[in-house]
Chain A
Amino acid sequence: GQQVMQIPQYQHVQEGEDFTTYCNSSTTLSNIQWYKQRPGGHPVFLIQLVKSGEVKKQKRLTFQFGEAKKNSSLHITATQTTDVGTYFCAGPADSNYQLIWGAGTKLIIKP
């Protein structure tokens, strides 16, 4: 069945270092969404990418959608403690009624 895979599962960084999470789909996606879930919280929408090769920026966050629309990445520059949480990508299933979610990448700031 349709799958969305994310790597790595965890990333430990020093505050100020960069962070990247990668998302790969088993099928071509019409669009991809990114969400952030803080510890103990619920997923919060960050962005949606629609076009092949699209790049969008939100302050220190850069989102990319691959040319083949099967992969995506999120890069955070100079991480801060407020960035801590789990970042999920999600793409529409063939039915277009549901999102298929990756397992997430947990960003951990080393003390």
Chain B
Amino acid sequence: DTGVSQDPRHKITKRGQNVTFRCDPISEHNRLYWYRQTLGQGPEFLTYFQNEAQLEKSRLLSDRFSAERPKGSFSTLEIQRTEQGDSAMYLCASSFPTSGRLGEQFFGPGTRLTVL
């Protein structure tokens, strides 16, 4: 399967713990996005990478969240000192490079985080 993959699919943690999620995009895609989705809402943008450069990060994002894409391939999203409000589905998406506008985004299956 050459789609976007995410690991783990589910994570249950206690409040205050750190968690890290991994995303492997489609190999030819240089653009990678992280989103958060809660029940009944659309995906909320968290951050965007073009190759290894993090070009945009949501202003709403707490300093407890950090993301990396060290070699321009897979990416990790870390949440430090988790809070119950962090419980959500974390989605990763990737896309081809396009000129001038955002292209079709291919989503992974997501990591469902539950903070107890």
Binding site for B on A (CB under 8 A): 9, 30-31, 33, 41-45, 48, 50, 88, 90, 92-93, 95-104
B56 lies within 8 A of A95 (CB): yes
Stretch with Cβ within 8 A of A (4 or more), from B11-19, B38-46, B69-77 = B38-46
Bound CA–CA A65/B107 (angstroms) = 24
Q: Tally inter-chain residue pairs, CB-CB below 8 A.
A: 60
Contacting residues, chain A, for B110 (C-beta < 8 A): 42
Chain A residue with Cβ nearest B60: A1
User: Which of B42, B45, B104 interacts with A48 by CB under 8 Å?
Assistant: B104
* Interface of A (DSSP majority class): loop
Contacting residues, chain B, for A41 (C-beta < 8 A): 109
B42 lies within 8 A of A88 (CB): yes
User: Which of A42, A43, A44, A99 interacts with B102 by CB under 8 Å?
Assistant: A99
Chain B residue with Cβ nearest A89: B42
Which of A50, A97, A104 is the most central at the interface, judged by chain B CB atoms within 10 Å of its CB?
A97
